[in-house]
Amino acid sequence: MSFNLQLSKKLFIFLGKSLFTLLEAMIFALLPKQQKNVAGEIVLITGAGSGLGRLLALQFARRGSVLVLWDVNKEGNEETCKMAQEAGVTRVHAYTCDCSQKEEVYRVADQVKKEVGDVSILINNAGIVTGKNFLDCPDELMEKSFDVNFKAHLWTYKAFLPAMIANDHGHLVCISSSAGLVGVNGLADYCASKFAAFGLAESVFVETFVQNQKGIKTTIVCPFFIKTGMFEGCTTACPSLLPILEPEYAAEKIVEAILQEKMYFYMPKVLYFMMFLKSFLPLKTVLLIGDYLDIFHAMDGFLERKKKL
């Protein structure tokens, strides 16, 4: 009897808490959550030398954050540093770092800790794309995709998460992709690396939740193509549903999601609906939708770049 009472009590508590969380979500859907203040927070952004990383840096510069900029491209990174200073930030630090190299990540991370302090917002943004069909993609390029797009997240988490745990304060931001949600023709290695980055971020979040580390937040960002040059030549057949995103708009909305501490942030919003459909529709129906939206040929015009973004 006592066992049944315990089960009933647990069920009622679960139902009560579930109802509360649903109501809370509905309220915040109507009344957006207040943005947190990041003035003085140490924000590290990988791939800050150009593209989305640069724009994210400028967004945080305007909010008074202390910036730590990482990029393999020293010239581009220093240019972002100057732009951030012009935007009003007084403390900005640029480090040349190849995030695909574990030893280099750990070395530069130690340098950051000594010279700047404990990173409280980590934005893993650095990425590369080969844009080749699976069997046409050389092994070394596939390995490089994983090294930059996924493994770099492992090493930066290992380097900066311990201090966040000790301080019970921090924010882990994973810039994944819509290609981290669904497989895309011509992006096998990229999709796999972005799926992996998504899975790592989600798993580490669950670990912090289980260990009751409520001060550590996670945001996983999955945008469609952004006009940064990384996917130059790629197209969309339905720009009203799946627009190629303007970089400034994307950066602004991503920072808003971080400051509102959203766990998942997909751009455009139709991606939420598409993932819902994918979860229960028959495979043939899903393929018909993809064919109708011409998603399978989005990479046909891709123009390869040698530059990391």
Tell me if residue 220 falls in helix, strand or coil: strand
Catalytic residue chosen out of the listed positions 190, 249, 264, 272 = 190
Contact partners, residue 289, CB within 8 Å, separation at least 6: 274, 277, 281
CA dist., res. 119 & res. 140, Å (int): 32
The residue among 160, 76, 79 whose CA lies nearest residue 112 is 160
Supply angle C-alpha 284, 289, 294, rounded to 5. Answer: 120
CA dist., res. 33 & res. 87, Å (int): 26
Structure tokens at 115: 């010279």
CA dist., res. 199 & res. 78, Å (int): 32
CA distances, 109 to each of 10, 93, 115, 189, 260 (Å): 44, 12, 10, 27, 27
| Annotated catalytic residue 157 | no
Q: At what angle do helices 152-167 and 102-115 cross, to 10 degrees?
A: 30
Residues with catalytic function:
190
